[in-house]
A and B are shown apart, each in its own frame.
Chain A
């Protein structure tokens, strides 16, 4: 007699918890061949709102943690992902097919390791002393932009979202992530790694659902400081950018492989002056 497997209910990751949508809605996620894979939560406007609230609440502490500490948390994520590698691999394979899935997991894990090592270098790479013409000490330091909305690319389902979350977290931002709409389940599996990796609740919030419904809400939200439009469809970019202009959001897009530039894109520069005198 074969055993009936216990299937997983995929939920949102919000404020460190795994709630269902307040709306109670879901949508069907399909396998590569087009058959039913699972139901994913179809997050609502209010879920976006709650996620932003959670992110805003969590952000100051995350930003004021030492860079060394943030680096260790990012590294811990990589450790948790490595531990859960079979699970992540099976989620990715289920979503996008077996081919390339292992490589994708490698990339995702290594991306966190890369940014783990960057956290306490960022200020030195991106900041420094400015030689102003006068008796002043003048220092520029990067600081996190704050709450960042991330529209993850549709694929690769796991490495894509990691490539956007990791650089944002590295500098001390909190994130509200809209997962790949077609392949959201690896993002939820990632959330389970995050939840066990010392990432404070609310620092990463992951929503699944329809982008055409959620992106405009995220883009126009007055308490979101920046939006990463890497996963926004070309046809929706103009509208997204118009909505973002409402509160002068920084509009960010992936430029390539891990680099300080990717992390700096999620940061502001603060310059401090002080006279030098006796």
Chain B
């Protein structure tokens, strides 16, 4: 899956000018960059949010083959975690991952009573439950302590083991392995795409 010569303007501002992205199939891929540099924009385009995808996007699956966890999710309802999981289980196609202990512990709590961290974990878990070809996660580590974000990446790597492609947009380096494919957005004209081992020497964080 790749994006070639991508140009994107928003309110007369050039977000991207002729940049390329490259994503490995059945791998954990990262879009790395500072806040506000356009990570959500590229994820929205990949997911074709509001028909934003154009001819620059090659090899990406259709919308119904994509799971996409947005950065913010104010899902303030009185349903319990268990009821929400039950709802997702009723949807067509599920991935049979083992229910993590942290999720087991919060099953009987109402979503609105969960901490912001628990809510985030539950939402990430829900997105790993559905059977899709491509999984997009926008800043999944936000609000999570390091140990929890490491656990989340274990879930994501389990998806990869099942032959799924995962793309994570983040500004944190904690959970990237040297072998992971990284697209580092340096600026609106330059995106470095390669394994993290090769990229990190050229990054200017």
Asked if A and B are interacting partners, one says no
